[in-house]
Amino acid sequence: FLFVCFKSIACTCIMGSPSQIYDDYDYIFTGKVTDIKEYYPDSKRVKQISFSIEENFKADIDFSLINVDRPDGMCPIPYLVLNSSYIFYVNKEDGVVNISICNPTLRLEKSKKKLDRYKFYVEELRLIKEAISENEETIVFDNVIKNSISSGRRFARGITKYLDANFKKEDYKSGLGFYLVVFDDTDFKSNHLIIRKSHGDKIDDAIKKYIKSEEFLTYLEKIKVKYKSSENLMLPILIQKPLNDLD
């Protein structure tokens, strides 16, 4: 993630979806705040918590406490509430696990729209974990191709490619379609598609056509230098049903 702070204006946090920020954090998991161990002096802001793990998406959890940075008045920090569940994104430095400013940790809330968003991000993380466990050396999530729809409070970052496709509501057969473009040589001249999770024939066929298009080849020219030595490189394509349309 990136953050920019200026004294005269509020902090701006630039984040991505779970797939875009997967590599930025050491530990990603869903869990519940089980105890508030410490508050900041003269404040209701949480300084340290203990937690229970519900589902883990990355490295093994070898700690029991999480520290939370003190708000600086500009840059946001997740507000942690006792007995609430979250998707936690945390890093460890010098043995200390910490949530810092502009952290994407997301709370499970009861409103339907926010609950749908939470469930969608959990599903995306599950797909990422499964794909990486099978293709750890070749799949990259710092370049993700997505359809350009609203994704709530998170914002696109980096050189992620947005697929220019006008799918209709009835075209989406699930909440999330997940595809892997596999390159058969280091020149990126030959590729094929692995469908990890289908969105139905119409969208699947559109993705197959897209990866042979001039638009896709132009995109590859922008990133091929970065991955020129990679063999059997895999680029992910994630097609999300608009959150407002999730069942």
Q: What is the mean pLDDT of each run of 10 residues along the chain (247 residues)?
A: 45 70 90 96 91 95 95 83 96 93 89 82 88 74 65 41 70 83 77 89 90 85 67 78 59
d(CA 118, CA 205) in angstroms, rounded, equals 28
Residue 157 confidence (pLDDT)? 39
145-147 and 234-240 as β-strands: parallel, antiparallel, unpaired?
parallel
Residue in 116, 107, 128 with CA at minimum distance from that of residue 175: 116
d(CA 237, CA 18) in angstroms, rounded, equals 13
Alpha helices in 38-152 (DSSP H): 112-134
Residue 62 confidence (pLDDT)? 93
Taking the CA atoms of 32, 241, 58 and 23 in sequence, report the sign of the dihedral they define: negative
Residue 13 confidence (pLDDT)? 76
Question: Considering the entire predicted model, what is its pTM?
Answer: 0.75
Residue 134 confidence (pLDDT)? 79
Count how many Cα atoms sit within 13 Å of the Cα of residue 25 in the half-sphere of its side chain: 31
Residue 227 confidence (pLDDT)? 67
Kindly report, residue by residue over 28-64, the tens digit of the pLDDT. 999 999 999 999 998 888 999 999 999 999 999 999 9
Residue pair 31/96 in contact (Cβ under 8 Å)? The answer is no
d(CA 236, CA 69) in angstroms, rounded, equals 33
**E strand segments, the chain:** 2-6, 9-14, 27-39, 46-56, 65-68, 85-93, 96-99, 106-107, 145-147, 161-163, 176-183, 191-197, 234-240
d(CA 46, CA 48) in angstroms, rounded, equals 6
197 SS3 class: strand
Alpha helices in the chain (DSSP H): 18-21, 112-134, 201-210, 214-223
Residue 142 confidence (pLDDT)? 66
